Amino acid sequence: MPYNTNQGKSPVAVSAADANKVRIFSRVLTGLVVLALSFFGGWLGSMSQTQSTSNSIVQQKTILKNEANVISDIASTVGPSVVSINVTSETAQSMNSPFDYYFGFGRPSQKQQSAGTGVILTKDGLIMTNRHVVPQGTTEVSITLSDGTVLDDVTIVGRTSERDSLDVAFLKIRNTKGVALKPATLGDSGSMKVGDTVVAIGNALGQFQNTVTSGIISGYGRSLQASDGSGATSETLDDMFQTDAAINQGNSGGPLVNLAGEVIGINTAIASDSQSVGFAIPINNVEGLIKSVRETGKLSRPYLGVMYVMLTDDIAKEYGLSQDRGAYIPTSQQMGVQETVIAGGPAAKAGLKAGDIITKVEGATINEKNSLVSLLGKHSVGDAVSVTVVRGDEQKNFVITLGAAPTE
């Protein structure tokens, strides 16, 4: 019986066809709602991802800005401790024929002008640079400070030997003309890791004073054969930092600095056949030299009196050694020399022999980050140091009193 529409609030009767239409409309409406929510959810997700990317870009820009500010601060802080070194030297000039000598057509020597960089170590004018910045035959040296002041009363305190793997020299400003000098702060090169940011400051190309570049430590413990542009002189450099901070000619002797503004290396060489490959002497390697010059006014380099090779996996395999780290003293036959343990030298007096592998100095293990040079560099001539040696299947301990290496 159909419902009576006149009976107040009773429900209205619906036909089967109308009910079906209602169900279809309800499903369509639900689908539209779900679709709308899906679009809205996707829009929210897109907004969230865009916001995240935006935040990341902002963070990167902030990091770059902060690093740029740090480098700028380092340049202003360390810059006054960096000097340009101007050098006049005389080199022998060969005669073209005997007539040149007898009739005066040739000259016995010729003057050369060169430039490099140095680091102020003390308020009274002690400066450290590279040996090759003040070569043999140097007759005049002047210093230009970061503010342009020229100081020309400068003497060479000492240079390491041309055979020495440490390319270092020390200068002294005898008359500062009342200028207050700012010494650099020295850091700990042993704390540096591959990937750490560094800053190089120097007299680029001998004319662009206090040029600042930045990069990272690309490696350590590097050995290389270095020469000047003409190939006339050559030297072996051991235990060097490698960096991709731009180092140009004229930067030699300048500081390599960490982000704390501390000198952790002395820029020394560049790879001529590639870009962004420079090398610096770790500051720890010259710690003993700096101490001796400060205390005695003379360059006194501690040494053991041995020839050695720093071991790696490949070198140990080449020599047939089971020990793959340490400083190996080869035999004279292996090196093609008369002796590898210098007779009467500190190591010989203590009892070291060819074939020994030095593994520790004062308890510190010799490895890629702690070379024999760096560990000895912390000491001075006359220091008694304990040395651990592997000899065959035995481990032996010696106490060696460090001697003074030949200098020039």
Q: Which residues are catalytic?
A: 132, 167, 252
Residue 401 and residue 346 in contact, taking contact as beta carbons nearer than 8 Å: yes
Q: How far apart are CA 61 and CA 401, in angstroms?
A: 54
> Contact, 218 vs 242, CB < 8 A?
yes
Phi then psi for residue 373, to 5 deg, are -60, -50
What 3-state class would DSSP assign to 64? Answer: helix
Torsion of CA 325, 326, 327, 329, to 10 degrees: -80
Q: Side chain identity at 68, as an amino acid letter?
A: A
Q: Of 97, 95, 127, which Cα lies nearest the Cα of 109?
A: 95
| Contact of 197 with 64, CB cutoff 8 Å | no
Task: Tell me how far apart the alpha carbons of residues 375 and 390 are, in angstroms, rounded to a whole number.
Answer: 18
3-state helix, strand, coil in the chain (%, to 5): 30, 35, 40
